[in-house]
Amino acid sequence: MRHTGRVKSLRFRLTISYILIFGLLLTAIGFTFRSRLMTIIQDRVEEAVDEDWSAARGFLKVERGQAIWSVDPREVDRTAFLERLRRFVMVADSHGEVLEMSIGYRQQGVESAAEIMERFKEGSPQLVVKEQGKDRVLLRYGVFRSEGTPYLLVVGRRITDVGGLPTAFMTDYFTVVPLLLLVTGVLGWFMAGRALIPVNRVAEAAQRISGSSLHLRISRRFANDELEQLIVAFNTMMERLSENFEQVRRFSTDVSHELRTPLTAIRGQLEVALMTAEKEDDFREAIVNALEDVDRISNIVRALLLLSQAETGQLALHKDPVNLTEVVAELAEQFRTTAKENGLQLAWQLDHDVYVRGDRTQMDRLVSNLLSNALKYTPSGGHVMVQVRRGEDSETAVLTVADDGKGIPPDSLPHIFDRFYRVPGEDPDKGLGLGLSFVNWIVKAHQGKIDVTSAVGRGTTFTITLPISLSHATDEPAAAVSIPLAEARQ
Ligand code: ATP
Ligand code: MG
């Protein structure tokens, strides 16, 4: 149940992430809107004060040091408008003398004569925010001319409550945000739960598989998403695991079986000798027979050791350019005597100096295993032909070992590379059934390919394709490459 907890915490973390991201986003949006709102309001107020100033300017005249506001009293609207304007107004001349000042303006604080004169110098228009306690007023200074003399007209608007709108907005907004976050959290929780349902299923399936049998697979969803990839990867892994498991199982069964046979034989021979032998020669014969079986056991053990080294990647390959032509020529020469003794014709046809990148010892082992098989399984009077040539693509070297011997039955053909496999009915003294396992491993470890065609009674042909080596120089640094047998066999 441990994994369920983990999945749940993933759900929790996903939900928290949703909430956090959404919360941050909402806060950012809130503040952006607020500042935008404030800019808009500020612009509006500035425009309005500007308009107020121009309007006031239209009504205003200065005659003999007196500010005179002229409006037709019959125009009620304009009169009211002027009334409003005059609530926050100040008129002064260029010497700093105030000609008119409303009460509202006075409360806001009066400029000194020097300050007023400064305004004349700075020119117009100017917008200034004045603050008095909590009160904020936006003032619009501007110089105008009446009868050729410059005067300063200041019109203001109270903006104390202008900030109220953004504040109200923020208050409302941030009251709603927690609610939105709650909704996001709940939705996120359910969404994360839904998204994780297939993960849970996969986890359960995986648990069932690892607990019971290796042949079970997680059923695919065909959704073409990441999870699907995970399932496929998992199934492939299980495939390999069960293959390897099966291989190990078969291997140990085979090993015990293979060792038992000669051991039983030794025991039998020695027991019989003990009970029935009378002469020294009888004992000698029994011992010789037992020794043969002991040899067989040590061969098995030696081969197994080598195979297990290959399997665990301990058998290092020192890859150098190897003259395959030379290897085959030397071995064919060696095998010629055996061939003759068995009444066989061994012939070879070799292209000049075909180099492959490989481990010399393993190349020897490869060729001699194939040659010994061909000679072993071809009855007297038969022919064995070995060929080495460059492939048509000139990137490969092709080695063929062909015989016209007994052939391999189609049923057995897929198994001949398995460890200890021998075609049923084969003479147990002829071999251990390990030679082709080695051949297969060597070929794969050299990135090569192996093909076999066979017809019962007509013969067998093994074709090995290996990557050619372009450089023949042996001074290349010898790279020790090792490939586990299990991998090479796939
Ligand atoms: P080992 O090589 O370990 O001494 P082996 O020759 O029996 O024993 P492999 O070389 O692995 O084992 O071959 C497996 C089996 O494939 C052989 O037992 C034989 O039945 C069959 N086989 C291999 N090569 C030939 C061939 N050229 N013609 C007919 N059968 C063959
Ligand atoms: Mg063999």
Average pLDDT, the chain: 86
Please give the distance, rounded to the nearest whole angstrom, from the Cα atom of residue 338 to the centre of ligand 1.
Answer: 17
- CATH architecture of structural domain 2-166: 2-Layer Sandwich (3.30)
> CA 76, CA 87: separation in Å to the nearest integer?
17
> CA 140, CA 126: separation in Å to the nearest integer?
6
pLDDT surpasses 60 at 485: no
Q: What is the pLDDT of residues 193-228, one digit of tens each?
A: 888 888 888 888 878 776 557 777 878 777 788 888
- DSSP category for residue 319: E
Q: Is 431 in the pocket of ligand 1 (CB under 6 A)?
A: yes
User: Which of 114-128, 168-182, 357-371 is predicted least confidently?
Assistant: 114-128
* Residues whose beta carbons lie less than 5 angstroms from ion ligand 2: 373, 431, 435
Q: Is 419 in the pocket of ligand 1 (CB under 6 A)?
A: no
pTM of the model: 0.54
Please give the distance, rounded to the nearest whole angstrom, from the Cα atom of residue 435 to the centre of ligand 2.
Answer: 4
Per-residue pLDDT at 475 = 44
Pocket test for ligand 1, best of 416, 438, 442, 450 (most atoms within 8 A of CB): 416
Per-residue pLDDT at 109 = 81
Burial string for 408-437 (b: 16+ CB within 10 Å, else e) reads beeebeeebbbbbbbbeeeeeeebbbbbbb
Q: Is 141 in the pocket of ligand 1 (CB under 6 A)?
A: no
Please give the distance, rounded to the nearest whole angstrom, from the Cα atom of residue 438 to the centre of ligand 2.
Answer: 9
Pocket test for ligand 1, best of 436, 443, 452 (most atoms within 8 A of CB): 436
Pick one of 3.30.565.10, 1.10.357.10, 3.40.50.2300, 3.40.50.300 as the CATH number of 320-489: 3.30.565.10
DSSP character string of 92-146: EETTS-EEEE-HHHHHH-PPPHHHHHHHHHH-S-EEEEEEETTEEEEEEEEEEEE
> CA 385, CA 403: separation in Å to the nearest integer?
6
Q: Is 362 in the pocket of ligand 1 (CB under 6 A)?
A: no
Task: Report yes or no: 67 and 105 within 8 Å, Cβ to Cβ.
Answer: no
Of all ligands present, the nearest one to the C-alpha of 430 is 1
Of 440, 446, 444, the closest CA to residue 358 belongs to 446
> CA 230, CA 236: separation in Å to the nearest integer?
10
Region of 447 (left: φ > 0; alpha: ψ -120 to 50; beta: rest) is left
> CA 153, CA 124: separation in Å to the nearest integer?
10
Of all ligands present, the nearest one to the C-alpha of 375 is 1
Please give the distance, rounded to the nearest whole angstrom, from the Cα atom of residue 368 to the centre of ligand 1.
Answer: 12
Q: Where are the beta strands (DSSP E) in 262-316?
A: none
Of all ligands present, the nearest one to the C-alpha of 434 is 1
**Which residues, 6 or more positions from 348, have their beta carbon under 8 angstroms from its beta carbon?**
328, 329, 332, 385, 386, 387, 388
Pocket test for ligand 1, best of 367, 368, 370, 376 (most atoms within 8 A of CB): 376
Q: What is the pLDDT of residues 411-424, one digit of tens each?
A: 999 999 988 889 99
Do 2-166 and 320-489 agree at the fold level?
Answer: no
pLDDT surpasses 70 at 313: yes
Of all ligands present, the nearest one to the C-alpha of 459 is 1
User: Which of 288-302, 402-416, 440-454 is predicted least confidently?
Assistant: 288-302
Q: What is the mean pLDDT of residues 258-265?
A: 86
Residue 329: Cβ within 10 Å count: 15
Task: Report yes or no: 402 and 384 within 8 Å, Cβ to Cβ.
Answer: yes
- Phi, then psi, of 266 in degrees rounded to 5: -60, -50
Please give the distance, rounded to the nearest whole angstrom, from the Cα atom of residue 416 to the centre of ligand 2.
Answer: 10
Please give the distance, rounded to the nearest whole angstrom, from the Cα atom of residue 19 to the centre of ligand 2.
Answer: 69
Beta strands 383-390 and 345-350 are parallel
Measured N-to-C along each axis, helices 280-311 and 226-276 cross at an angle, to the nearest 10 degrees, of 170
Q: What is the mean pLDDT of residues 173-198?
A: 91
Ligand 1 atom, smallest distance to 462 CA: 27
Of all ligands present, the nearest one to the C-alpha of 422 is 1
**Which residues, 6 or more positions from 60, have their beta carbon under 8 angstroms from its beta carbon?**
67, 68, 69, 91, 144, 146, 153
Q: Is 432 in the pocket of ligand 1 (CB under 6 A)?
A: yes
Ligand 1 atom, smallest distance to 378 CA: 28
- Phi, then psi, of 133 in degrees rounded to 5: 65, -125
Binned at pLDDT 50, 70 and 90, residue 367 comes out as: very high
pLDDT surpasses 60 at 5: no
Q: Is 413 in the pocket of ligand 1 (CB under 6 A)?
A: no
Of 314, 306, 322, 315, the closest CA to residue 448 belongs to 322
Binned at pLDDT 50, 70 and 90, residue 8 comes out as: low
Q: Which two tokens stand for residue 187?
A: 């939705």
Q: Is 373 in the pocket of ligand 1 (CB under 6 A)?
A: yes
Binned at pLDDT 50, 70 and 90, residue 477 comes out as: very low
Q: Is 366 in the pocket of ligand 1 (CB under 6 A)?
A: no
Of all ligands present, the nearest one to the C-alpha of 453 is 1
> CA 408, CA 427: separation in Å to the nearest integer?
14
For residue 153, count CB atoms less than 10 angstroms from its CB and return exposed for 0-12, middle for 13-18, buried for 19 or more.
Answer: buried
Q: What is the mean pLDDT of residues 127-141?
A: 85
Q: Is 119 in the pocket of ligand 1 (CB under 6 A)?
A: no
Give residue limits of the domains in the chain.
Answer: 2-166, 267-311, 320-489
Please give the distance, rounded to the nearest whole angstrom, from the Cα atom of residue 403 to the centre of ligand 2.
Answer: 14
Q: What is the pLDDT of residues 36-89, one digit of tens each?
A: 998 998 899 899 999 999 999 889 989 888 889 888 888 888 888 888 888 889
